[in-house]
Structure 1
Amino acid sequence: MVQEAHVTQGPLTTEAGTPVADNQNSEAAGIGGPVLVQDQLLLEKLAHFNRERIPERVVHARGAGAYGTFTVTADVTPYTRAAFLSGIGKQTEVFLRFSTVAGNLGAADAVRDPRGFALKFYTEEGNYDLVGNNTPVFFIKDAIKFPDFIHTQKRDPYTGSTEADNVWDFWSLSPESTHQVTWLFGDRGIPASYRHMDGFGSHTFQWSNAAGEAFWVKYHFKTDQGIKNLTAEAAARLAGEDPDSHQRDLRQAIERGEYPTWTVGVQIMPVAEAATYRFNPFDLTKVWPHADYPVVEIGKLELNRNPENVFAEVEQSIFSPAHFVPGIGPSPDKMLQGRLFAYGDAHRYRVGINADHLPVNRPHATVARTNSRDGYLYDGRHGGAKNYEPNSFGGPFQTDRPLWSATAVSGATGGHPAPVHAEDDDFVQAGNLYRLMSEDEKERLIANLAGFISKVSRDDIVERAIDNFRRADGDYGKRLEVAVQALRG
């Protein structure tokens, strides 16, 4: 079956291609009479209009995207056999979707919220999705808590509004969130634009080379435009004056030819070092300090082409951390393990079982060969080919070579907490981050936190919240307590 290009010139037609005689007046039973059900153009247009919106993402609903290229600038073949990383100068087409996390589709861009940084590499071995954020850590370390966390960020079942009581009740009872909360309420909590923020793969991933040797890696995307942020006051004004500020900025920069770029690097940890590293290397609430594992530059990311249609290419774009290519794979990170299922499942529900057939989602540098058939919006691309494997009719076959190296496991099954390493606790890295800040940065952090905590109605939640920051750093907690008391009277 040949897919013809959409034609915009010539007679207007129905979806079936029938020419439209009158697009101004619906058919009626005489002048001034009731409308007739036989007017199929009217019914088709109204029915399609009623279905123009697909369910929005539960998280990351508000977003913008652009196409571009990733270019390799260093030899990483000792660490991974991924083909798109196989040589200096090699270039791969990409699509990057930025987003906020908690807001709905109509929310403002300039708000205090983590930013999604979801990158699709259209490689010759299939699509590789790296689904990260603009922060190197997250609020929780186990995906089983993700629905609970997001429920606190969304509208309360009774009030229909976001409630400070819910947010701080959960955070104060989940001290592992202290590190990410410190990030979020610091200066980088409200980026000035998508172009002026860093990106992170956040999770730990596995790289494996041609010899089968494995390494643990973390991805970093450092903005070449420089970091720019908004104060809470400036963001509140901008969100009201131009809710689409970040999306507009990205689109207009690309239209001007001011293509945003990021320098891409990785931290690399030999697998043998993971067990004795001072922090659990698979804990999403922790970073690997650069003094332990420096960031090694591997490439350059550039965005240079806007989508032609936001709905088709941004709203219907799908990303899944489970989309790996040979030489790259998962780690035991329990948040990542949950996302390997959840993202694909969300897209199957939201966009449909054949969402991967859409132009923005399908492979660009190779062809998908599967035995999946039928379902909603199936386009018949397989023709009459057999739909099972193995078969003797020339169908696709397995390679017998795993995408990534095996990970050793041991012990009994059960609901185990994450392993605790020598310097692991929920507060040490939050305290380290606080102590790295300048005095001005600390003052803004305290003011941002106090302004939100002061809205909590229950004293016990307030005290629990402040105590987490006190355990991260004594000065941090003391200053926050004074600020909150001043606001609460």
Structure 2
Amino acid sequence: MIEKPDTTNQPDQRTLRTRQGHPISNNQNSRTVGARGPATLENYQLIEKISHFDRERIPERVVHARGTGAHGVFEAYGKVGDEAISQYTRAKLFQEAGKETPVFVRFSTVGHGGHSPETLRDPRGFAVKFYTEDGNWDLVGNNLKVFFIRDAVKFPDFIHSQKPDPVHNRQTGERIFDFISNTPEAMHMVTFLFSPWGIPANYRQMQGSGVNTYKWVNDQGEAVLIKYHWEPLQEIRNLTQPEAEAIQAKNFNHATQDLYEAIERGDFPQWELCVQIMSDGEHPELDFDPLDDTKLWPEDQFPFLKVGKMTLNRNPANYFAEVEQVAFGTGVLVDGLEFSDDKMLQGRTFSYSDTQRYRVGPNYLQLPINAPRMQVFSNQRDGQMTYRVDTAPGQNPHVNYEPSNFDALQEAPRAKPDHMPRVEGHLVRETISRTNDFGQAGERYRTFEDWERDDLINNIVANLSGAQQVIQDKMVDLFFQCDRDYGQRVQDGLAEAKMSMAAQQEEAVQQAQESREAQPY
């Protein structure tokens, strides 16, 4: 149980503060230009919080520690659906039908350690590094298409709730639901996670999603909003909790083994990359904000459009050099691909690369698995583990800056206009106006098949039944707001679990009494 601290005669001891001692009056929202606008670099609370979080574990990844990976190729279709792709993006890798781009993909579990079983209930990471002619593009996502939170300032808190207790070092359902019971926006993801979708059967038979909202930019500098989705050409398979436990009893590396052996025998897994396209704007006709990562864009309004196919055809030669040291970042984009004002995306863009510099080192981009597939010249020098100097042929070795009157590197010509969105508004700490935390969660529950709903309820009850009553009551209320049947079934399940627990305790007391009476004096 989570013990409540004694705050007697200490009225100020529980005030949340920064490490500088500043009281934090709003820990739910990062500072942005308007309620849905971009974050700012002077966002001290956000940057301090995430940069400290990035450094909490060494050298293992803070999240996505357990992973495997493979090499492959992405083949462009040269169009988006039935339309010319050039009207939406000028990114070169998409333009020509049949154009191939090398890729490396890392699959992972999220919350558990590097040697944890791959049968645990957890989102799966789905990160793809494209080695394009314009440099690297990293599409970093998960198997599930939504997330628990919509503002990056909450990410360290969320992950802490999923990690083991800092006192007894055990992960508990109480910690997880304590956070979620106070975070209604998480209900959509919770409904996914505790259903069979929370345990994919393996990496080959799961979907992938960029989760965040991005932008595509065309030759004129015009932009549209984009969601990325990987759809497996193998059938999609998930596991119920009993099925996962049966596998875990015999093999806790089953997904890694499955991917490796499939590629070795020539059964190369494939996914089609699909996008959803939306005009750049607030879209007041929707009952949610399109930049909200806890929401799905309705497929009937924004259909999945195919843009290419990925095939994984080669296993790594060395796990550590390739799978462990590969480093991804949501800020790694090529020309024609852009950020949106998605608050989670902007926070992740700082966090990912900052983590890689700390975990692997400041020169992590010199490692072969991370380096782009062309020679790179820059004015960056030195740092831990430098083994190459980025000096161009003919470059004055004394000049590692720009501009210069001597033989130095020069800026690349800008042939096409930048995308220049207009940003204007007050700097605020506010939640977006259209939260709608329960609508899609309830819809998701109602679209599940009966066996999926049964597994969902059983898993929630099993994890929530050990939590304190105040957490159970708040969670039941949230489930009722999603769907009445959803809430009722969880409520009934918790009541049944309480009666069963009481009966077990009574039986244990009775057995102890009988044992004492049977003892000779």
TM band (smaller chain): 0.7 to 0.9
Answer yes or no: is the 8 Å Cα contact 2:140–2:329 preserved in 1.
Answer: yes
Q: Which one is further off, 112-121 or 383-392?
A: 383-392
- Once residues 404 and 426 of structure 1 are traced to their aligned partners in structure 2, the CA distance between those partners, rounded to angstroms, is 35
The corresponding residue for 2:409 is: 395
Q: Does 1:474 align with 2:484?
A: yes
Alignment-derived partner of residue 358 in structure 1: 367
Contact (CA 8 Å) 1:66, 1:305: kept in 2 or not? yes
1:181-196 matches, within 5 Å, as 181-196=190-205
Match of 1:442 in 2: 453
Find the residue that maps to 1:173 and give its secondary structure.
Answer: coil
Instruction: Give the aligned partner of residue 69 of structure 2.
Output: 65
Find 1:239's aligned residue among 248, 259, 269.
Answer: 248
Q: Residue by residue, what CA displacement relative to the aligned partner does 1:369-427 show, whole Å, maximum 9, x if unpaired?
A: 2211000111133353631112341414243468962222221112122232xxx4110
Q: What do the CA deviations read for 1:94-145 (whole angstroms, capped 9, x no partner)?
A: 0100000001111111111000001100000010001000011000000000
Give the structure 2 partner of residue 415 of structure 1. Answer: 429
Asked if structure 2 preserves the Cα contact closer than 8 Å seen for 1:74 and 1:297, the reply is no
User: Which residues of structure 1 form unaligned runs of 5+?
Assistant: 1-52
Q: Is the 8 A contact 1:254 1:306 kept in 2?
A: yes
Deviations 1:333-391, CA, capped at 9 Å, x for gaps: 11111001000000000000000110000001x23222110001111333536311123
Distance 1:232 1:404, change over 3 A: farther
Task: Please give the alpha-carbon distance, in whole angstroms, between the structure 1 residues aligned to 2:163 and 2:74.
Answer: 35
Deviations 1:199-244 (A, max 9, x none): 0011110001011111001011111111111111121232232111
Q: Is the 8 A contact 2:221 2:417 kept in 1?
A: no
What TM-score do the two structures reach when normalised by structure 1? 0.86
Distance 1:287 1:432 in 2: 11
Decide whether aligned partners of structure 1 residues 358 and 402 sit closer, same or farther in structure 2, where only a CA change above 3 A counts.
Answer: farther
* Shift in alpha-carbon separation, 1:236–1:403, aligned structure 2, 3 A: farther
Q: 2:385 aligns with which of 377, 383, 396?
A: 377
- 1:12 aligns to what? none
Residue number in structure 2 paired with 1:27:
none
Structure 2 match to 1:487:
497
Normalising by structure 2, report the TM-score.
0.81
Aligned counterpart, 2:351: 342
- SS of the residue corresponding to residue 148 of structure 1 reads helix
For 1:403 and 1:196, locate their aligned partners in 2 and report how far apart those are by CA, in whole Å: 40
Aligned equivalent of 1:386: 399
Match of 2:59 among 43, 55, 60: 55
Q: Which amino acid aligns with 1:445?
A: L
Cα RMSD (Å) of the superposition? 1.6
4+ residue segments displaced more than 6 Å: none
- SS of aligned partner of 1:197: coil
Q: Is the contact between residue 329 and residue 404 of structure 1 (CA under 8 Å) also seen in structure 2? A: no
Partner of 1:429: 440
Asked if 1 retains the 8 angstrom alpha-carbon contact of 2:220 and 2:417, the reply is no
1:417/1:232 CA distance change after superposition, 3 Å: same
- Which residue in the other structure is 2:123 paired with? 114
- The amino acid of 2:61's aligned partner reads R
Tell me the distance in 1 between the aligned counterparts of 2:223 and 2:245. Answer: 46
Q: For the structure 1 residues 403 and 461, does the alpha-carbon distance in structure 2 shift closer, same or farther, using more than 3 Å as the test? A: farther
CA distance in 1, matches of 2:484, 2:150: 25
Post-superposition offset of 1:319: 0.2
The C-alpha deviation readout for 1:26-59, integer Å capped at 9, x for no partner, is xxxxxxxxxxxxxxxxxxxxxxxxxxx9600000
1:120–1:128: 8 Å Cα contact kept in structure 2?
yes
CA contact (8 A) 2:366 2:388 kept: no
- Between the aligned partners of 2:237 and 2:424, the Cα distance in structure 1 is 46
C-alpha change, 1:54 and 1:258, in structure 2 (3 Å) is farther
The one-letter amino acid paired with 1:62 is R
Q: Which residue of 1 aligns with 2:335?
A: 326
Q: Are the counterparts in 1 of residues 381 and 389 from structure 2 also a CA contact under 8 Å?
A: no
CA contact (8 A) 1:68 1:301 kept: yes
Where do residues 160-309 of structure 1 align in structure 2 (5 Å cutoff)? 160-272=169-281, 274=283, 276-309=285-318
Asked whether the 8 Å contact 2:137–2:333 carries over to 1, the reply is yes
For the residues of structure 2 that align with 1:180 and 1:430, how far apart are their CA atoms? 8
Q: Structure 1 residue 139 and structure 2 residue 148: aligned?
A: yes
Q: Paired residue for 1:8?
A: none
Give the aligned partner of residue 7 of structure 1.
none
State the Cα distance separating 1:303 from its structure 2 match: 0.5
- Alignment of 1:405 onto 2:405: no
> Letter of the aligned partner of 1:105 in structure 2?
G
Letter in 2 for 1:375: G
1:313 aligns with 2:322: yes
Letter paired with 1:81: R
Deviation at 1:273, TM superposition (A): 6.3
Question: Aligned residue for 1:158?
Answer: 167
Matched residue type, 1:454: S
From the superposition, tell whether residues 163 and 327 of structure 1 become closer, same or farther in structure 2 (CA, over 3 Å).
Answer: same
Deviations 1:238-289 (A, max 9, x none): 2232111111111110000000001111000111464543320000000101
Q: Percent identity?
A: 44
**1:174 partner letter:** T
Q: Are 2:69 and 2:316, in contact at CA under 8 Å, matched by a contact in 1?
A: yes
Deviation at 1:318, TM superposition (A): 0.2
| Mapped contact 2:213–2:227 kept (Cα < 8 A) | yes
SS at 1:77 equivalent: helix
Q: Contact between 2:111 and 2:162, CA under 8 Å: does it hold in 1? A: yes
Q: Which moved more, 1:458-467 or 1:230-239?
A: 230-239
Q: Is the 8 A contact 2:195 2:455 kept in 1?
A: yes
Matching residue of 1:34: none
C-alpha separation in 1, matches of 2:259 and 2:289: 37
SS in 2 for 1:409: coil
Task: State which drifts further: 389-398 or 460-469.
Answer: 389-398
- Residues 161 and 297 of structure 1: is their aligned pair in 2 closer, same or farther, counting only changes over 3 Å? same
